[in-house]
Structures are given as C-alpha cells and as structure tokens.
Amino acid sequence: MVQPDTPRSAIESEAAFFGEVDREPLTPVRRVVAERMAASWRDIPQVTEFDEIDLEPLERLRQRLADESGKAGVRLTWLPFILKACARVLAAHPALNAAFDSQTGALILKRYVNLGVAVDTPAGLMRPVIKGIADLGWLEIARRLAALSVAARDQRLPYSDMEGASFSVTSLGRLGGTGFTPLVFPPETAILGIARASRRIVPEAGGIASRLRLPLALTYDHRAVDGAGAGRFLTELAGCLQQPEPLAV
C-alpha cells in the first residue's frame, strides 16, 4: 500500500486521475528479471522458430519409467527427457550452446552443457541450472530438477545454483497457451520454449488419428545463429524426442 507522503510518478498520477489505484513494488527477484529481459529485448536481435512434435512415443516412455521414478520418490514428467535430448543435440550445434561476446564480436563456444530451467515461484521467475547434464541419466536429471525447483519455490536456492547456464529451457506446462516467444538470457545465444501439449486430429496412414502434440519455440540471437542452423537444431531435437528410447539411460 502506498504511504500518504510517497510522491506519485507521472504514470501513477495519470492512472489515479481515473480512480483509486494501489502501488505494488516489484520483488527483488522480479526486478532483476525485469532488468535482464529489458536488456535482452534492447540488445539482442532475436528470432523465434516454431515446431510441433508427436509426443506419443515420449509419453509411452514416461509411463513405462514412471514406476521406477516413483520408487525413487520423483514424479516423472516429460521435461527430464526434453532436457536430456537438448544436451545431446546441442553437442552438434555449438553456436546454440555459446555466449556472444559483444566486446570482441566473438562467440565463446562452451564444451559443457549446463541447462537453465525457468521455474515459477511466489517471488517471481527463477532459473536454477542443472550442470553437466550431458553426463547424467534421466532419473538423476529428474531428481535434480525436482530438488532445484523446490528450493527455488521455497526461496532457499543459492546463487551458485543459478549461474553458469549455457542454454535455457522454459516450459508453460499445463498453464496454457498454444505457443509463445521466450526471450534469450544474455549472454546465452538461445532458449527453448515449451507450450501446452494437446490432442490434435492429424493425417495418418491414409486416414486420421488423434495424437498428442507438443509445441516448441526456439528463440535465438541472430548475431550468433542463422535460421538454417536453428531449423536444423529443432529438426534434430524433434527426431530425438520422437524416437526417445536412447534417452532411457
């Protein structure tokens, strides 16, 4: 609530002219996010490419491994497999797993894959980082993702678990939306957005079928990556997720 002696800004004064208003200051986390996203939009020429995958094979894999995950105390979603697939495909696309150095006009290509995963918390958006993910199995990824998400929501995530990302993933999960355009976290060069899965009627074998489909959106820094490179990454990622058995290790 605004204190009586707190001066109003021009925007607040204009809004208050038409009726009562309240001022809600940004939380420290939300303020940092706001500043970084403004810098991202201002400084990075970004393009988003969209794709959609058949999720049925990945869902069958998730169901098959759900009991094993449950015994380990982890609720299994599609996300650990998507993260593992990203790590595998990024190895062949180093420009998407890099930092853009605007001072030298060079790409800093990273030989490791640390994935930042956006998490919605009461304090605002946080992005814990799963480090060395290329060397982790699906169950360990699921464990770390669950632990980091809980720590973020409980506001006890140390800064060391929020630094060092080389690529980011953000998922709307069940919140809604058929697609969106995520913004790159500088100095990273790309981010993958995952929208809500839904059933679609699609052509299949001369007829039609109901299939579970998942929309993907890849936003990239056009200084570092061109459309062809981004398209190849999305195509290979889709192929990996639609033939997911190698991810079950």
Alpha carbons 169 and 8: distance in angstroms, whole number? 38
First to last CA, the chain: 52
Q: Where are the domains of the chain?
A: 56-247
Alpha carbons 97 and 233: distance in angstroms, whole number? 11
* Eight-class DSSP state of 229: H
Superfamily for domain range 56-247? Chloramphenicol acetyltransferase-like domain (3.30.559.10)
Which residue, among 151, 164, 54, 67, has the nearest Cα to 108 in the 3D structure?
A: 164
Alpha carbons 33 and 125: distance in angstroms, whole number? 7
What percentage of the chain exceeds 90 in pLDDT? 84
φ/ψ region of 206 (left if φ > 0, alpha if ψ in -120 to 50, else beta) reads: left
Model confidence at 164: pLDDT above 70: yes
Model confidence at 2: pLDDT above 70: no
Strand partners, 218: 49, 192
Residues with a catalytic annotation lie at 222
- Taking the CB of residue 65, how many other CB atoms lie within 10 A of it? 18
Model confidence at 20: pLDDT above 90: yes
Which residue, among 179, 170, 191, has the nearest Cα to 44 in the 3D structure?
A: 191
Model confidence at 28: pLDDT above 90: no
Give how far Cα 186 sits from Cα of 98, 238, 247, Å: 10, 25, 29
Alpha carbons 215 and 205: distance in angstroms, whole number? 22
pLDDT band at 5 (very low <50, low <70, confident <90, very high): low
Query: Which distant-in-sequence residues (6+ apart) come within 8 Å of 155 by Cβ?
Result: 121, 122, 123
Give how far Cα 154 sits from Cα of 80, 106, 121, Å: 21, 38, 8
Per-residue confidence (pLDDT) for residue 1, from 0 to 100: 44
Alpha carbons 249 and 242: distance in angstroms, whole number? 16
Model confidence at 3: pLDDT above 80: no
Q: Please provide the average confidence, as pLDDT, over all residues in the chain.
A: 94
Per-residue confidence (pLDDT) for residue 4, from 0 to 100: 53
Dihedral sign (CA 116, 177, 211, 238): negative
Provide mean pLDDT across the span 3-22.
Answer: 87
CB 239 within 8 A of CB 88: no
